[in-house]
Chains A and B, each alone.
Chain A
Amino acid sequence: MTELTVNGTRHRFDGDPLTPLLWYLRDELALSGTRFGCGAGLCGCCTVHIDGAAARACSVAVGDIDGKVVTTIEGLGGTVLHPLQKAWIQLDVPQCGYCQSGQIMQAAALLAGNPAPTDPDIDDAMSGNICRCGTYPRIRAAIKAVASGSHAGLAPPPGGQLAATAKPVP
């Protein structure tokens, strides 16, 4: 029996304790925002926070995190968008988008420990997260925008879709 808290909700898991957290989140808790990319901790697609630290959910067994607090992309901002999500929207960071949950979770862990990262800091923190579409320049820009506090003042991109859809995450 494993107990853990995911996005503020306590869960009990009595399945195979070797089950990777990734598949527990996706298949049992229906939290599909944490995505499968490699299964070996090599790509960062499945990055979540465990007790606030970035971790690869594909490589963490549920049985090893008894009592821990897990945050996924669905719970990152609570009831509102996290500043990184806002910056991601304002800079139109994603292309295919598949890796972006992991990128945002990794960036959030970076900023939590280092509110003003340098370029080398960003390289160190983010180079475990692969993006095959090559959105790296905008990821870097979005992290810097949040770090400098300028994301709030970024002009929204032209077009009205942002205002129409950028509502708090339910």
Chain B
Amino acid sequence: MSTQPQTLGRRGFAFGISALAGLVAALPPMPSQAAGSTPSPNESKQQHPEVTVWVVIEPDDTTIIRVARSEMGQGSMTALPMLVAEELECDWALVRAEYVLASDNLARGRPWGDMVTAASLAIRASHAYLRKAGAQARTMLIDEAAARWGVGADACVAKNSVVTHIPTGRTLRYGALAQAASARAIPPNVPLKRPQDWQVIGRPLARLDTVEKVTARPIYASDVRLPGMLHAAVAACPARGGRIGHFDAQQVLAMPGVRQVVAVDNNAVAVVAASWWQAKKALDALSIVWDESSADGSAGLELSTEPLARMFRAGLDASDVAIGRRRGDIDAALATAATLVQADYEAPYLAHATMEPQTCTAHVTAQGAQVWAPTQNGEGTLLVVAQTLGIDPSRVVVHKHHLGGGFGRRGLAQDWARQAVLIAREVDAPVKMIWSREEDVRHDLYRPFCVARHTAGFDRAGRLIGWKTRLCGSSISDALARDRLKNGEDHEMMSGFLEEDMVYDVPNIEVGYVMRNTAVPVCFWRGVNHTQNGYFREAFVDEMARARGQDPYLFRRDLLAHSPRSLAVLDEVARRANWGRQHAGVHQGIAIVESYESVCAHVIDLSIDAAGQPTVHRVVCAIDSGYVVNPAIVTAQMQGAVAFGLGAALDGEITLHKGRVQQSNFHDYPVLRMNQMPPVETYLVPSADRYSAKWGGIGEPGVPPIAPALANAVFAATGRPVRSLPLSRHPLAPT
């Protein structure tokens, strides 16, 4: 396993900015605190020498641990420093976490490695080099103490930010050693602790970012205040693919506070004013005539939900199929099957609806650009800003702020950064752009609308001998990350059915995907393709079980007989949920999905009242993430994944009419609220390296199994399979 930060080439890790390293590797260092620059509250403000690039220790022992990834609620700002602290042997009470600047990373040859925070990879992609960084710094501190005492380093031990010479009991604090230690050579090879010796990893330590979030510190990009700053409100053409027809800026320039009206990219209009409200009021007053004649998709396809759905459904019979997995002879197996089970499924477009609407503050001058951004990808933002403005990347500084929600919206999709700098380029002042919620919902990039067709065959003995799945929808990678395609094929659209993430043992199996791209933009959405595919797969498993007259849990057990890792999670969730022993009137649904190198299963307890109203009484969750860095954060992420996924499965749906998204705010794009939130019991079943050497992700794996667990509970209650989402489409009253 590599222990050096790098752009990881493994599929699933590369996010399309690897070219950036070479592009700017030779640039001179860009000072973090450029003249007139306002850093974000959590950004690196180095006062003292680095022991290594990851660790700065101040004379009072305050230990600053750098964080390259982003904090969007998933706990990276705490869990990543824990990995360093484990080996550093510092006093955790002295630890402060700070963001690395993307510009520093690029200027210095990317010593902090990848900054992308997506695909649940913050821990799984960086645990090795972060633990190594802690061990390197600890070794340097011990060596410095030993040199001062004139003793061997092996007679010294470090603990709680103090080095002790064991034979004499002499001590030196890290704060007294750090400056000199920073001049020592970084040891290339340092042994890492064995898991049984861990003192920090595995503890439910308090998050480092809680106090600032509870006391309303200005930690978000939308809180930025800069001298002379103006505010921008934006309206993009309501129809996808449309553009500005005409508008007359004079109509609003005399309104209070209004300074400028700016056309952006020929498809959006921004009003810049002294306050956001003044900008928004003027924008609303501005008569913009939109040209929607070009709002049709390719080949005259009307961008309305029904024609789009028909086109995707037709794709299930198409021959331009990318095969993601083939085992045995599926056609022969299905031809000889004694029983066939077939079903088509659909999942809707979904919006991210981050709690903080899209926002970015930018200041563009002759010298370059600074932006203050909630970004899942600091380097990606930097590159987009440079490309948008046509300037060298060395002239861009990105100040990272905590995100008011990410969920995939603020990673590869940098449309908001582009808009912000295009507006700011026209204004002689820093400009804070904030989208209205309506703009945020209507101009999101959505989880793709997808359809599936399953055909399963059983032999005369009732054994599952063949399972064929066809999928159709729009490719996320084709839209946002073409370097992730394989010979033009997007195999990630088959997540959840591929060899690495579907472990059900079926002798003949085939999964294929038909790519149908449209002008409706699609994007990563927490759990990505595992979400709709996990639903398609696990809901159909229950249909197969029922067709065989078998219990859904026991049916899965049989298919997982040779997959001990998934079987252990399935057994745990069933045991904890008292599977099969629910109270009268309560129906259970079970689902398990492997994603991001973790395995997660949920059981939902549900009832449906006489009016057809479903109530989820409880969710039981079991999760194997390999290792657990912070169990309190894992538990919180499982609760959060349930809320995010359950809300979508119950009510979430984005629809279009002639290019216009028909939803606009939380009244017509409802998300889960407190009164709908079930108790969530989370059981951690970490398998460490028993089955693989992988550290599993946590931010997303709780999402994929929740929609199918809901569908399966409803199936159990009504006897009718739920073959499309959201559930609100389906009348559930007893018939």
Please list the residues of chain A having a beta carbon within 8 angstroms of any beta carbon in chain B: 15-16, 18-20, 23, 26-28, 30, 32-40, 42-43, 45, 72-74, 81, 85, 88-89, 92-101, 104, 122-124, 126-140, 156-166, 169
Contact = CB atoms under 8 A, between A and B. Distances in A.
Interface in B81-136: 91-95
B215 interface: yes
Interface in B645-667: 665-667
Nearest to A160: B93
Contacts, number: 211
Contacts of A30: 225
A17 to B, nearest CB: 12
B614 interface: no
A32 B671 CA distance: 25
| Residue in A34, A128, A139, A161 whose Cβ sees the most chain B Cβ within 10 Å | A161
A158 B203 contact: yes
A9 B213 CA distance: 24
Chain B binding surface, main DSSP class: loop
A20 B277 contact: yes
**Among A73, A104, A129, A162, which residue has the most Cβ atoms of chain B within 10 A?**
A162
A123 B673 CA distance: 9
Contact of A134 (B206, B353, B672): B672
A23 B275 contact: yes
A93 B677 CA distance: 15
B584 interface: no
Contact of A88 (B75, B209, B214, B675): B214
Contact of A94 (B210, B673, B680): B210
Contact of B677 (A97, A137, A159): A137
Interface string B200-229: 000111111111111111111011010000
A56 to B, nearest CB: 12
Interface of B: 71-75, 91-95, 203-220, 222-223, 225, 231, 256, 275-278, 281, 353-357, 402-407, 434, 436-438, 632, 636, 639-644, 665-667, 671-677, 679-680
A158 B206 contact: yes
Instruction: Indicate the member of B92, B674, B677 with the most A CB atoms within 10 Å.
Output: B674
Contacts of A32: 216, 218, 220, 222-223, 225
B631 to A, nearest CB: 11
16 contacts: A16-B256, A30-B225, A89-B210, A94-B210, A95-B75, A96-B356, A96-B402, A97-B404, A98-B404, A100-B214, A127-B673, A130-B673, A133-B640, A158-B205, A158-B206, A160-B91
Given A94-B210, A136-B643, 20 more contacts: A19-B275, A23-B276, A32-B216, A33-B215, A40-B667, A89-B206, A94-B73, A96-B72, A97-B209, A98-B356, A124-B675, A132-B354, A134-B640, A134-B644, A134-B672, A138-B639, A160-B92, A162-B206, A165-B212, A169-B215
A159 B220 contact: no
Given A27-B275, A28-B275, A134 B632 contact: no
